[in-house]
């Protein structure tokens, strides 16, 4: 069956949150015990300013993709929203930039007028089919902010699909080896000017 990349309204996103959290848990190797907390958080995120989501929906040939139809499975998704003061991720990254010795003026510029790419995941059985790249480029093309920032787990030599994708699309380092509360793994914060492919500096 074909895959179609479809923008989800906030209401459609909330309807499919349990399915998307299941993909997230399997893709990240997390325990299923976090499902309820993640669903609650994502439902909250869907009400943030600038919320935007795109899903890769598998549907029968000859039928239109229907985000309301649970019989049409989601094979990958992406979502994010405008970043700002007081948000959890913004607060954590701001602290990491301070620890890294980034001057206050640069911290302000980096965290001004940006979209946080909160989650992008592809069902493990569908990875390697260019779904992640399509999700990210379609998502980014619709944004009006100046920058797109994201976090991704650190891996040796950046040797995984996520890092390869981000580097191919021009994402550069913001801060490396930071830790989020509740997760023992180090993360990289990466960013890109928008539109993707803009070779100018992040700030």
Q: How far apart are the first and last CA of the chain?
A: 43
Q: Is the dihedral of CA 142, 38, 32, 58 positive or negative?
A: negative
Q: What's phi and psi for 98, nearest 5 deg?
A: -65, -45
What is the phi-psi region of residue 82: left when phi exceeds 0, alpha when psi lies from -120 to 50, beta otherwise?
Answer: beta
Tokens 């893709």 correspond to 27
Residues annotated as catalytic (active site), given as ranges: 166
CA-to-CA distance for 38 and 31, rounded, in angstroms? 11
């Amino acid at each position: 069956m074909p895959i179609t990349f479809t923008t989800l309204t906030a209401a459609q996103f909330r309807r499919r949150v349990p399915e998307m959290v299941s993909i997230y848990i399997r893709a990240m190797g997390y325990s299923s015990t976090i499902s309820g907390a993640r669903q609650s958080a994502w439902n909250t995120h869907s009400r943030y300013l600038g919320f935007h989501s795109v899903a890769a929906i598998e549907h029968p040939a000859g039928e239109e993709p229907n985000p309301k139809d649970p019989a049409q499975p989601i094979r990958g998704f992406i979502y994010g929203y405008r970043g700002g003061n007081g948000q959890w991720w913004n607060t954590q990254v701001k602290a990491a930039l301070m620890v890294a010795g980034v001057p206050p003026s640069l911290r302000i510029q980096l965290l001004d007028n940006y979209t946080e790419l909160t989650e992008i995941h592809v069902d493990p059985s569908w990875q390697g089919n260019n779904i992640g790249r399509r999700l990210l480029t379609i998502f980014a093309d619709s944004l009006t902010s100046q920058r797109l920032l994201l976090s991704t787990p650190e891996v040796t030599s950046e040797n995984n699909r996520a890092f390869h994708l981000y580097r191919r699309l021009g994402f550069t380092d913001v801060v490396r080896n930071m830790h989020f509360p509740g997760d023992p793994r180090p993360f990289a914060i990466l960013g890109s000017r928008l539109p993707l492919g803009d070779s100018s500096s992040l700030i």
